[in-house]
């Protein structure tokens, strides 16, 4: 059984994340979308809130092999605890590559048997990030089409209150 873990801050989960998840769900038997539960990163959305939005996406998209999870500590330890042999990450631009190159080196140093696979974003999504969604939403701009439709209203209202 091929099990993958798709980790991230997902603050919030965007349509770029959804694109990666769709590809991964088609390739792996089970995919865990794992929200980093690390208060040092000061996320805007709480871990439960982020997981709830991911669960809503799983339900709306009718993904049968996708689960929502959360972790703190080392990603490779979490991956091992759920028997995942693969880490899944998305790549948008060359700047992502440098960051991913570094994370991969650390993870492979810790557990060489766990490999990371990457999905390139379509050019239309290459500009998109959770931080741009947060900024647009906090200033009252439209986030329509940037986050999964099932979460748009929730994120819009939540970010408007944040300001
Ligand atoms: O969405 P992000 O913030 O780019 O995701 C980063 C993430 C969660 C993949 C990374 O910060 C991570 O794996 N953190 C857990 C701690 C860890 O395992 N560190 C070693 C690799 S740098």
Encode pLDDT of 69-120 as tens digits: 999 999 999 999 999 999 999 999 888 999 999 999 999 999 999 999 999 9
**What pTM was estimated for this model as a whole?**
0.97
> From atom 12 of ligand 1, which residue's Cα is the shortest distance away?
75
- Any atom of ligand 1 within 6 Å of the Cβ of 36: yes
Burial class of residue 56, CB neighbours in 10 A (0-12, 13-18, 19+): middle
Residue 121 DSSP one-character state: P
- Any atom of ligand 1 within 6 Å of the Cβ of 75: yes
Please check whether residue 43 is in contact with residue 15, taking contact to mean a CB–CB distance below 8 angstroms: no
Closest CA to 153 of 6, 12, 43: 12
Find residue 70's DSSP bridge partners: 35
Please check whether residue 125 is in contact with residue 19, taking contact to mean a CB–CB distance below 8 angstroms: yes
In degrees and rounded to multiples of 5, residue 140 shows phi and psi of: 80, 15
């Amino acid at each position: 059984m091929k099990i993958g873990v798709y980790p991230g801050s997902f603050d919030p989960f965007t349509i770029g994340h959804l694109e990666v998840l769709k590809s991964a769900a088609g390739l792996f038997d089970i995919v865990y979308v794992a929200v980093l539960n690390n208060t040092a990163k000061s996320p805007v959305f709480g871990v439960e809130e982020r997981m709830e939005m991911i669960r809503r996406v799983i339900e709306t998209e009718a993904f049968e092999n996708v689960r929502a999870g959360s972790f703190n500590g080392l990603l490779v330890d979490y991956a091992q605890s759920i028997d995942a042999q693969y880490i899944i990450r998305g790549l948008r631009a060359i700047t992502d590559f440098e960051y991913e190159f570094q994370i991969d080196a650390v993870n492979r140093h810790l557990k060489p048997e766990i490999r990371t696979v990457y999905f390139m974003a379509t050019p239309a999504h290459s500009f998109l990030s959770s931080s741009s969604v947060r900024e647009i939403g906090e200033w009252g701009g439209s986030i329509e089409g940037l986050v999964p439709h099932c979460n748009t209203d929730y994120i819009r209202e939540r970010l408007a209150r944040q300001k």
